Amino acid sequence: MPLKTRLTEALGIVHPIVQGGMQWVGTAEMASAVSNAGGLGLLTALTQPTPEALRKEIARCRTMTNKPFGVNITFLPAINPPPYEKYVEAIIEEGIKIVETAGNNPGVHVKRFKAAGVTVIHKCTSVRHALSAQRLGVDFLSIDGFECAGHPGEDDIGGLILLAKAAKTLQVPYIASGGIGDGRGLAAALALGAEGVNMGTRFMCTKEAPIHQSVKEAIVKGTERDTTLMFRTLHNTARVFKNAVSTEVVKIEKRPGGAQFSDVQHLVSGQRGRQVFVNGDTDYGVWTAGQVVGLIDDIPACKDLCEKMVADAESIISERLNKMIVPKSKL
């Protein structure tokens, strides 16, 4: 039986499972597969080189699923920032009704999305940032723990504490992100107060993920110790898969006197990371992966993954946990 939460009801999806926005991975193939599996698939806006390319990818995704799907867009400061306003315009004009936002100062964009009737899920790595997003009027928050792939923030707060704190503090419903890849994680997230879960790394390791098989096999072989944190000294921490390149980056950062971004820029370029997914050389560039790699031991279809997660979560909730409740009459 499906799990019914405020997330499934609001988004019109079967399972309370959201596919996270992933650079180079969140294409129509990935998003449609997750949506067809009963979850919420997300196109990653900035994987597309231009707003016009995003419009075409949205149209292509619509030929691959008739289920709800959305778009992820991350707003980050940059020397030459993407034309965020044009991407937002494309999302709205193409009739997308669910958007996941992330990054800095999304206020002006959230206002535009809300005026267009878009449901906004905003990803945060701290409760204080979640409170700011709540004031902006977002519909859901995605609370991203320290275990996550990509940028976990600078507070180093794990999901167990972060999700429980969110339940005590927030008025807006939230989903759990970071470190989740199976039914145990889903059941735990719901117990901590979440309305669903957001997964990135776990969906990278599925049959439909548009990345090289060697990368998927590296995730299966990996353990919870096979990620590393780089850019710590630059106060822009990123969790990535531990390989030759990320190890070299961390080594450079630890030099006496520290390092500047220019010292590692040639190693961490996005194009090198993209080639990892295309050519399968897992040591060619840096690529994001969360500690959940330690829980991943297969490469299922998205449908099988989602159905097993929900079935396992239901079993844990209805059987294992329910059996722990002893009626007072039997005490």
Q: Which residues lie across from 100 on neighbouring strands?
A: 72, 121
What is d(CA 63, CA 56) in angstroms, rounded to the nearest whole number?
11
Give the model's pLDDT for residue 141. Answer: 98
Report, at the CATH architecture level, how domain 6-211 is classified: Alpha-Beta Barrel (3.20)
Phi/psi zone of residue 266: left (φ > 0), alpha (ψ -120 to 50 degrees), beta? alpha
Give the model's pLDDT for residue 257. Answer: 85
Q: Which amino acid is at 323?
A: K
> What sign for the dihedral angle of Cα 86, 109, 76, 100?
negative
Render each residue's pLDDT in the chain as its tens digit; 331 residues.
789 999 999 999 999 999 999 999 999 999 999 999 999 999 999 999 999 999 999 999 999 999 999 999 999 877 789 999 999 999 999 999 999 999 988 899 999 999 999 999 999 999 999 999 999 999 999 999 999 999 999 999 999 999 999 999 999 999 999 999 999 999 999 999 999 999 999 999 999 999 999 999 999 999 999 999 999 999 999 999 999 999 999 999 999 988 999 999 999 999 999 999 999 999 999 999 999 999 999 999 999 999 999 999 999 999 999 889 888 777 6
Whether the Cβ atoms of residue 242 and residue 224 lie closer than 8 Å to each other: no
